[in-house]
Structure 1
Amino acid sequence: LVFYAEGLEDVAALGVEVAEEIHEPLCELYDYRPDGKVSLIFSDDDDIANAATYFQSNKIHFYATSMAWDFRGTHNWLRNVVTHEYTHMIQLGAARKWWRAVPAFYVQFLGYESERRPDVLYGYPNRLMSWPLPSITVPAWLAEGTAQYQFDGSGYDYWDSHRDMLLRQAVLSGRLLSFDDMGYFGKTSLQSEEIYNLGFSLTKYIADHSDSPDVLRRISHRLANPLPVTADDAVRKATGRRGMEWYREWKADLERQYRGIQDELTPYLTKGDTVPVSGFVNLYPRLSPDGKRVAFISNQNRDYFGQSSLYIFNFDSTESEIIAPAAHGGLSWLPDGSGIVFARRGVRSSTGSRQFDLYLYLFDDKKTVRLTNGFRAESGDVSPDGSTLVLTINESGRRDLALAPMPDYRARKVKSLSREDLSYRLEALPHEQYYLPRWSPDGKHVAVACHRVDGRGVRIFAMHEQGERLVKEREFDGELLELRDPSWSEDGRSLLVAWDVDGISNIYRMDLESDSRERLTVVLGGAFYPDMRQGRLAFTDFCENGFRIRWADDATPLRLPRNSLDTNADERVPYASKIPRTTFDFDVPQPKGALYKPVFERLYWFPRIAFDYGTFKPGTYVLVNDVLEKLTFIGGFAINQKRDYDLFGLMEYRIFYPTVFAEYYNVQRRLTSHFEDSQVIVGEEGEGPNRRPVFDTYRIRFRYSLHEIEFGLRAPAGDGTEISLSTIYDSYNAHNRFDDETSIGITYFKGWAGKIALRQDRRRPGVASEINPRGGYKAYIEYRRANHLFYTDLEIGGDAVGLQEVYAPYNYDMLEGGAEKYLALPAWDHSLELRLRGGFVAQHVDPFFYLYAGGLPGMRGYSFYSLGGERIAVGTATYRFPIVPRASWNLWPLSINRIYGGLFADIGDAWNGDFDTERLKTDVGGGLRLQMHSFYSYPTALAFDVAYGFDRFSVTEQDRTTEYGREVRYYLTVLFSFYSPFSNYPDGR
């Protein structure tokens, strides 16, 4: 089954062709066949190059943007990505432990505070655990390694110069991931990419050096054992040697190979200087028109590739400064040096799609203006006369080349260009890509890198005489190599390019008159993105810890024959001869499509092994959705031996903007209580003056059933922001059965409420942002208008026959809000978290409707129900520090990644009427956090907190007085992420 967005007909047709071609070889290799048709989904909403295999659902989602990532070489992207993801489908399916309809079991535990309100059966939770037992437990290195290894003869993926560059520098710099560390993601972009490279290399090594040609199938089948099996043991059972032994041998072989290359190249390495910035992404250097500055993008002090900003380095002062955040793509100076054009990926508020457009930073005004709107332009270059933009447009699986007039960026209100403003668009052939166009110094030509089959080449286009279109003038075929990143010499007679002809990418000068090529650099990693002015060569070099901006003032031609990918140093095997020569057919028939009609997947079950308030409460979650996940239903049910049960259902309908949702909850609890009957004496006890009557007892069996249904709309409103509007109906019922089997049922609470809420999560992303956020904030604000009825008594008669409930109306307004601000402290990896939470009910209400400020979501030194009122205010300060900032401790099935400690203090109160500072409560505490992975793929967050409340106070409810405070309280959570009061209903319901 194939589903595709309009405009992707050729992409979908070729994707199907590839899938049909590779299906049988992969199924035979792993001795596994999917139990139904595999769905292929092709979308084009976001400017991201990615795909995801939902191996439990038999579907694969492809984003039509081709891969153009600086950590990856340029392959035939669609054939490669379809084969890669389809290999995931088959290999992971072969490693599945049980039925596809049961992706995982969940082990869950809920513990409660002993303190509770008189009208509440249990206290508030203080111990929460939800832990998966998944059906697939494959380490990341093996999953990604097999997906790149694919199968003999595929030819769609291979060991290229980019992969070798990353692996070579990881080995030579001593930062090769350990065998256990390769098992899971959750790392920086550089380390995560190394999992792909290391996994490919190690998988290939095991396959090439194993006695059995079906070793990958045997390893996968060993992992399919219903009992937990480590990859180390699965490899041992399949090959006779433990996975760790293979790893050590493979590592030693790499060190021998790469040390030899290092020794040979070291005497000839290019001398030069490096821009002093950190980060592993420092790319796209462009020298200013006067040659005194260089602009580049960098992810300095960030963990992910996409967190890059625009920087300027001054050669005279040797200082760099950040100019504009969230900058990507190729850069271009204005001809007079007054500004820089860059790309930025923004969120379209109507759809939530993330797409690129071009922006301009102006130095004099110190401001950024938007040049294009809706172009999906990843890179642009300004013509020498400043009048025209040449740019690339990402759409429909291609990157087209286009021309547009430069907007009047000096205007008071800059009008961004729309698609209608394009003066020319050179539509690429199907699956063809253009990268980083550059104007010639005279403005008459454009040089651009291009790709269609494998690798990259360079094309030169001439401007038509009337200037309204581009005409291809020359082409330099990369012949499957990476001939890329063209940049003009100042005289326009030559091009500077990056070329990996010998297996290591270096900078070359191509003379356009003689077609000769001169080598200008010798590097150990890889050199890219050259730019030269006044004899100064700037380029990107992949060094020990990532990409760095380097420059050389005396770049002269060099001669050094070397191939970094030689397996035998005595056999100078040309790198190009190692690239598979596969014939590709792009002209495939396009079957006729039809408008999408929902096709539903099977029903998935997630059995629950749960323990709740001291009882065993088994149950299950269920999930069903259509293939495109436009309509999703999630439900759950659990029941214990007392016939207490929890039932819920959630539905989302994402066809329209905004999303329509509905939620239903039903909770039933049973309780049997015994009472003395003061009217019936059944005996006496004691003697003499101590003699007293013994009364008869009777019991009442209570059954409480709580229902809530909510309908609403939910929509994104910018990056990390969501707005929701909903209507809620509640009905809480009680049924009391007596010893004589008579009974009475009442509805003790019912009514409607309208709610509008805004939630934001703008934490700065990072590898430790979950356990120790050090930037950004989370916030919410919620308003409710309630029209509720609360039971007060029973009356006879009225509008109906028999007993009728008497209700007190509670029509009130409630406003709640809160924010968490995360601050990075000067000490390494230490942080301060400041939290404020408050709320009030505008009218007087029964305690049933109170807000609460204690317990796990509030002041942890006091029980949840001890601090209740119509108004609450709580402030928290938490200092966090690393105990083990980075680890890979394998305690199968757990892998401990980080351990942090924390100290916190709370101040706040809940009250009615006027605020009284004398009644403020305080507490202090400490906690321990462990960030882990379970079964390689599942994030696991363990937190343990201890708190002590300094204030002693009493609370009287229904003639019962309880003392609180001056005691130690404990909290434990084991979840997928660390508990936050803002991730749940703020009032704890």
Structure 2
Amino acid sequence: MRNFSILLVLTTSLLQATGAWMFTGRTHPELKWHTIETEHYDVHYHEEIREIAVQGASIAEQVRPILMKQMGLDTLRRLDIVFTTEDEVLNGFAMPSNHTVIWVDQNDAALWVGDEKWLRTVLTHELQHLVYFNTIKTWLPEPMSSLVAGVPGWIVEGIAEYYTEKWRPFRYDISHKGHVIRNTVHKIQDPHNDGFSKSLYLADRFGDSTIVKILSERNKVGLLDFKESFKKHTGVKLKQFNEDWRRHMNTFFYGQRAQKERVEDIGKVHKLPLKRMATFDYFTDTLRVAMIGQLSKGQGDLSLVVATRDTAKENKEWKERVKKAEKKGDKPKKIKPRWKLKEYDHGVFGELMQNLDVSPDGKSIVYPKYRFGQKQSLLFDIWKLDIESKKKTLLTSSMRANYPKFSPDGKKIVFVAHENSTTQLYTMNMDGSDIKPLTRNEGDTQIITPMWRPDGKAIAFAQSDPDGFMDLHILELETGRVSQITESREGDFAPIWHPNGKKVSYTGLYDFTPNLYTHNIETGETIQNTDVGDVVIGASWNNETSFITAFTLKTTDSSRVVDINPSRVANKTELIMNTAFSSWRTKAPDHPIENIYPKKDVAIQSETPYKFYKHLSHLGSLILPDLKSFFLNSAFTDGMGRHLIAGLYFTDYDTVHAGMLQYSNNTGFPFTGSWGVNYYKNMLFTFQFYNRDQTPLLELFDGTSIWWKVPYNFGRSRVANHSIGISLDFMNRHAVAFEDSLDIFLTPESGKEGKISFSYTFKNQRFHKRNMFAPNQGYGLSMTHDMITSAVWGDLDYNKSSVEVFSNNKVGPFSLYTRGRYEKLSGDPLAQDTLGIFDIPNYYIAGAFVPGREYMSPRGFSGSRYGDQAFMGTLELRVPMIPVNIVEIIKIIQIGNPTVALISDFGNAWNDADELQDMILTTGAEFRFALSLARSPLFIFSFGWAQSPEKWGYDWDKYLKLNEGDIVDFGPKPYFQMTLINPF
């Protein structure tokens, strides 16, 4: 059938999760869900957050007519809204099934949203997506209608931002400044990012009505063709518009930058010893600095690193330079600092702002870290690292805690923690005991970046009150009195005390740009220290210079900081710019969303426990007919995305009639985890090479599978995950007639089997781009046991067990990969399940997935060895992948990322009653390269040579005896096959 690859992708997408649980795989059965029905919405929430849900319902009813007017809609169907705090996730999403899921109670959102509140911002954004889905719908079902329309992702996200939000520093003014300087504006990957500015520019240039016309246009067959509609209503091709936008952004931001202070003007610029740095803190001895950042490109998490000055190396280099300079009569050049970096932890160390703090004695570091906590909720807690022992101690338990800071005497730690959108300041002892609240906030209030006064008697912090304005406050610990020291719509945060405790420097987000300011506590006077056009965010007081070290804009790297004199007065200039280039940034919709009050009364028509069957809706359908075949895939989900019902049918109008029905339940009921029922007819199959000619055997599995699975994490590392699964299968196994040679196996058989399966998997592997090609870290264990018995169903009786382990270890610049597999088979299995060591190569998708049986097949081995038990091990010394594409076809298909490996395979197969034969052992080398689709490996191929050590020795002797002109008739036969990189 045509476009089969697209078909597979779309089918898979329809069968995937659609609820909040999909982010972690945790279903949270402890939550009791209810539904509030208002005039136009069904609002679903768990009972702990009813007040937030009612406020959300009020906001939704208030913004509905405005959202409809913005998009020119006269009618809008009833919508489902899900509010949850099951995880600490700064996000929300909307589905074409007319439901949206929103994580509420987000503390760091206070800095991100500007002068709004998270609930209002995220809810209106996601509701706009639902309005958009209803605007572009046609007679074709989703996702077919959207695929035909070809609406770019930046429109989908950008207009949601334009209609419901305001352009602001962290959304995405700061990001655009960096892209302009790096000349990568046209390469922005996130559609939220370029989509916001493109939509502002589009509306500013052509008007809101043009956006509505573009999305409402239908061609002669009643479908939306976005490119044609865009050209018709703007007079500009989409490609030209994108180029116009790129030039416009560059002109504006360079024009702004040219009129402001340079970073070099405001202080001394220097670099910290971590190229991809997110945050840092000085040690008091000035010879060390603690940092959070990435140690290598492609790293998917962050590293907590301590860098130590290598003064011995610096002194040695200095002496050598002095000697050379004396000989030449020159002045020796200054030595750059030499640093030794050591990683102590890894993960995510803050939500919007990564942060850490070094103790006054330099022995400990406290920091927040993303982890699985109570009830498997994903959240932030406070950890303490003892640097000498490397011991890490969890100080808080499932408190959603952040921003820890040691007191000046090192005896206490202040931090923030939040619950149901209300954040408080807390203190605790060094060991996490005696946790006490310092504030008594109420309502929608958030706190970030607390900082002790040097005398330890007061704490400065940034607080966003229910009005949405983030200002600086000071809490006097003795009296509990809180005073506000800044007041504006723009955000003020990151207070830094001066040593005398009489002044506070902070970062203010005025004119869309973070700059440094200093406030005199005694006089109330505030001075602006910097007026850059880029970014200056205060980070730490530098005891060595008595200056403030601040972050700068991330351009070539993120390690550049600047030391600023806090008494400096900025050379402030007002921007003079042609409004034709600047008006886009402040463009507001013709129908703005304003005067929205979360506490405005909303008419609740009913409030009941959640019933999923009352909220079922169509998720999507794919209908692909042609002259030779017909394909149908359709899925339905409930208003919370926790129940999924899907069906699939395919026929060639002749002999093939294949189908599948699927139901999955992700509520955690009746026990935790997810479960489901699948029915297959000519749809579930395995594929394996069945002889040395690599002739494939296709085997169909028709029947029903009932499955259950649950993931678990013990909370110390987010990447150390356990998974348990159980399934009960009633399958009719049908081996398609095999008429080729049977040089290894007997004729494949068919039969009915009732199977009970148990599985357990543990994997600990950090996210890194190199994992796709040559990982140098990670390990795992996988165990399965299948019990096939006619007592359950069918006519087959046998058992199969397997155990598999792997590990990757860094060896200098190389990685050492090890793997071991053990399988045992008993009873009367089918012929195609026979165990042993065979010289049949395997095939792997993406270097990891085998859509069928994986043979134990040592590379370079020829022959077969049978048994009811088999073992195979692998050792590989892998060279790092070279990130180069040798061939690239229309920027979609790439061939490249070459690497090499030294390999060794070993294994054996045996029966309990027979004498154990000698171990099979082969060694060799491989050259590897990847065939990638959209820069993700689809297949990894290897070209190599391997044979037994004895044969290598024999060939070496022949080589030594080789005379000039002799014919080389020895050596291993080369092979070309697919390669396994990650077992599971």
Q: What TM-score do you get using the length of structure 2 for normalisation?
A: 0.73
Shift of 1:91: 2.5
Aligned-partner residue type, residue 244 of structure 1: K
The structure that is strand-richer by fraction is 1
Distance 1:669 1:475 in 2: 67
Does the 8 Å CA contact 2:143/2:622 hold for their aligned counterparts?
no
Distance 2:305 2:880 in 1: 31
Aligned-partner residue type, residue 709 of structure 1: S
* 1:843-882 correspondence runs (5 A): 847-851=831-835, 854=840, 855-856=842-843, 857=850, 858=854, 870=868, 871-873=870-872, 875=874, 877=876, 881-882=881-882
Aligned-partner residue type, residue 897 of structure 2: Y
Distance 1:363 1:705 in 2: 56
Query: Secondary structure in 1 aligned to 2:203?
Result: helix
Does the 8 Å CA contact 2:649/2:657 hold for their aligned counterparts?
no
Q: What is the aligned partner in structure 2 of residue 324 from structure 1?
A: 345
* 1:392-541 correspondence runs (5 A): 392-398=416-422, 400-407=423-430, 409=431, 416-417=432-433, 421-424=434-437, 426-452=439-465, 453-465=467-479, 470-477=480-487, 479-534=488-543, 535-541=546-552
Does the 8 Å CA contact 1:748/1:790 hold for their aligned counterparts?
no
Q: What is the aligned partner in structure 2 of residue 140 from structure 1?
A: 153
Q: Check 1:67–1:889 CA distance in 2 against 1; reply closer, same or farther (3 A cut).
A: farther
1:282 corresponds to which of 278, 281, 296: 278
Does the 8 Å CA contact 1:447/1:459 hold for their aligned counterparts?
yes
Shift of 1:886: 12
Aligned-partner residue type, residue 872 of structure 2: A
Q: Check 1:201–1:546 CA distance in 2 against 1; reply closer, same or farther (3 A cut).
A: farther
Does the 8 Å CA contact 2:136/2:224 hold for their aligned counterparts?
no
Q: What is the aligned partner in structure 2 of residue 48 from structure 1?
A: 89
Q: Check 1:526–1:920 CA distance in 2 against 1; reply closer, same or farther (3 A cut).
A: same
Does the 8 Å CA contact 2:732/2:753 hold for their aligned counterparts?
no
1:357 corresponds to which of 356, 360, 381: 381
Distance 1:13 1:865 in 2: 71
Does the 8 Å CA contact 2:148/2:223 hold for their aligned counterparts?
no
Residue by residue over 1:666-704, the C-alpha shift from the partner in whole angstroms, topping out at 9 and shown as x without a partner, is 44599xxxxxxxxxxxxxxxxxxxxxxxxxxxxxxxx99
Residue by residue over 1:807-863, the C-alpha shift from the partner in whole angstroms, topping out at 9 and shown as x without a partner, is 7x7454522325364869849xxx886654442226685635424774324468899
Q: What is the aligned partner in structure 2 of residue 841 from structure 1?
A: 825
Task: Give the gaps of 5 or more residues in structure 1.
Answer: 106-132, 186-191, 410-415, 671-702, 737-746, 792-804, 934-938, 953-964, 972-977, 984-989
Q: What is the aligned partner in structure 2 of residue 173 from structure 1?
A: 182
Q: Check 1:881–1:365 CA distance in 2 against 1; reply closer, same or farther (3 A cut).
A: closer
Residue by residue over 1:320-371, the C-alpha shift from the partner in whole angstroms, topping out at 9 and shown as x without a partner, is 54343333343333343321211111113x6432111111112343322121
Q: What is the aligned partner in structure 2 of residue 112 from structure 1?
A: none
Q: What is the aligned partner in structure 1 of residue 4 from structure 2?
A: none
Does the 8 Å CA contact 2:676/2:706 hold for their aligned counterparts?
yes
Query: Secondary structure in 1 aligned to 2:48?
Result: coil
Distance 1:911 1:616 in 2: 47
Q: What is the aligned partner in structure 1 of residue 196 from structure 2?
A: 200
Query: Secondary structure in 1 aligned to 2:120?
Result: helix
Does the 8 Å CA contact 2:81/2:100 hold for their aligned counterparts?
yes
Q: Check 1:258–1:39 CA distance in 2 against 1; reply closer, same or farther (3 A cut).
A: same
1:602 corresponds to which of 598, 601, 617: 617
Does the 8 Å CA contact 1:402/1:422 hold for their aligned counterparts?
no
Shift of 1:435: 0.6
1:220 partnered with 2:243: no
Q: What is the aligned partner in structure 2 of residue 124 from structure 1?
A: none
Q: Check 1:73–1:661 CA distance in 2 against 1; reply closer, same or farther (3 A cut).
A: same
Shift of 1:458: 0.5
Query: Secondary structure in 2 aligned to 1:875?
Result: strand
Distance 1:307 1:64 in 2: 24
Q: Check 1:266–1:730 CA distance in 2 against 1; reply closer, same or farther (3 A cut).
A: same
Shift of 1:385: 3.7
Aligned-partner residue type, residue 239 of structure 2: M
Does the 8 Å CA contact 1:75/1:157 hold for their aligned counterparts?
no
Distance 1:287 1:735 in 2: 67
Residue by residue over 1:526-568, the C-alpha shift from the partner in whole angstroms, topping out at 9 and shown as x without a partner, is 122332254132222223146446242755412311356x644
Q: What is the aligned partner in structure 2 of residue 163 from structure 1?
A: 172
Q: Check 1:544–1:715 CA distance in 2 against 1; reply closer, same or farther (3 A cut).
A: closer
Q: What is the aligned partner in structure 1 of residue 897 from structure 2?
A: 900
Does the 8 Å CA contact 1:507/1:530 hold for their aligned counterparts?
no
Work out the number of aligned pairs and report it. 828
Aligned-partner residue type, residue 471 of structure 1: R
Aligned-partner residue type, residue 782 of structure 2: Y
Q: What is the aligned partner in structure 2 of residue 956 from structure 1?
A: none
Distance 2:867 2:735 in 1: 28
1:62 partnered with 2:103: yes
Does the 8 Å CA contact 2:304/2:343 hold for their aligned counterparts?
yes
1:626 partnered with 2:626: no
Say which is worse superposed, 242-251 or 370-379, in terms of deviation: 242-251
Does the 8 Å CA contact 2:552/2:562 hold for their aligned counterparts?
no
Distance 2:552 2:930 in 1: 38
Aligned-partner residue type, residue 440 of structure 1: R
Q: Check 1:627–1:704 CA distance in 2 against 1; reply closer, same or farther (3 A cut).
A: closer
Shift of 1:715: 3.4
Shift of 1:301: 2.2
Aligned-partner residue type, residue 710 of structure 1: I
Shift of 1:597: 2.6
Say which is worse superposed, 845-854 or 21-30, in terms of deviation: 845-854
Residue by residue over 1:383-409, the C-alpha shift from the partner in whole angstroms, topping out at 9 and shown as x without a partner, is 3344433221122123x12323314x3
Shift of 1:706: 3.8
Query: Secondary structure in 2 aligned to 1:594?
Result: strand
% identical aligned pairs: 14
Does the 8 Å CA contact 1:161/1:500 hold for their aligned counterparts?
no
Distance 1:789 1:495 in 2: 77
Distance 2:650 2:862 in 1: 25
1:636 partnered with 2:648: yes
Does the 8 Å CA contact 2:418/2:424 hold for their aligned counterparts?
no
Distance 1:214 1:663 in 2: 48
Q: Check 1:924–1:325 CA distance in 2 against 1; reply closer, same or farther (3 A cut).
A: closer
Does the 8 Å CA contact 1:605/1:620 hold for their aligned counterparts?
no
Does the 8 Å CA contact 1:495/1:512 hold for their aligned counterparts?
yes
Q: Check 1:230–1:176 CA distance in 2 against 1; reply closer, same or farther (3 A cut).
A: farther
Q: What is the aligned partner in structure 1 of residue 783 from structure 2?
A: 781
Residue by residue over 1:871-892, the C-alpha shift from the partner in whole angstroms, topping out at 9 and shown as x without a partner, is 252638576745646999866x
Residue by residue over 1:791-821, the C-alpha shift from the partner in whole angstroms, topping out at 9 and shown as x without a partner, is 9xxxxxxxxxxxxx9x7x7454522325364
Does the 8 Å CA contact 2:356/2:367 hold for their aligned counterparts?
yes
Distance 1:544 1:442 in 2: 38
The structure that is helix-richer by fraction is 2
Q: How large is the Cα RMSD of the aligned pairs?
A: 4.7
Does the 8 Å CA contact 2:139/2:222 hold for their aligned counterparts?
no
Distance 2:593 2:95 in 1: 31
1:269 corresponds to which of 265, 269, 279: 265
Aligned-partner residue type, residue 547 of structure 2: R
Aligned-partner residue type, residue 723 of structure 1: S
Q: Check 1:218–1:545 CA distance in 2 against 1; reply closer, same or farther (3 A cut).
A: farther
Shift of 1:513: 0.9
Does the 8 Å CA contact 2:138/2:224 hold for their aligned counterparts?
no
Q: What is the aligned partner in structure 1 of residue 233 from structure 2?
A: 238
Aligned-partner residue type, residue 512 of structure 1: I
Q: What is the aligned partner in structure 2 of residue 819 from structure 1?
A: 806
Query: Secondary structure in 1 aligned to 2:212?
Result: helix
Distance 2:860 2:229 in 1: 49
Aligned-partner residue type, residue 649 of structure 1: Q
Query: Secondary structure in 2 aligned to 1:428?
Result: coil
Q: Check 1:448–1:862 CA distance in 2 against 1; reply closer, same or farther (3 A cut).
A: same
Distance 1:669 1:586 in 2: 50
Q: Check 1:405–1:275 CA distance in 2 against 1; reply closer, same or farther (3 A cut).
A: same
Say which is worse superposed, 882-891 or 771-780, in terms of deviation: 882-891
Distance 2:54 2:860 in 1: 63
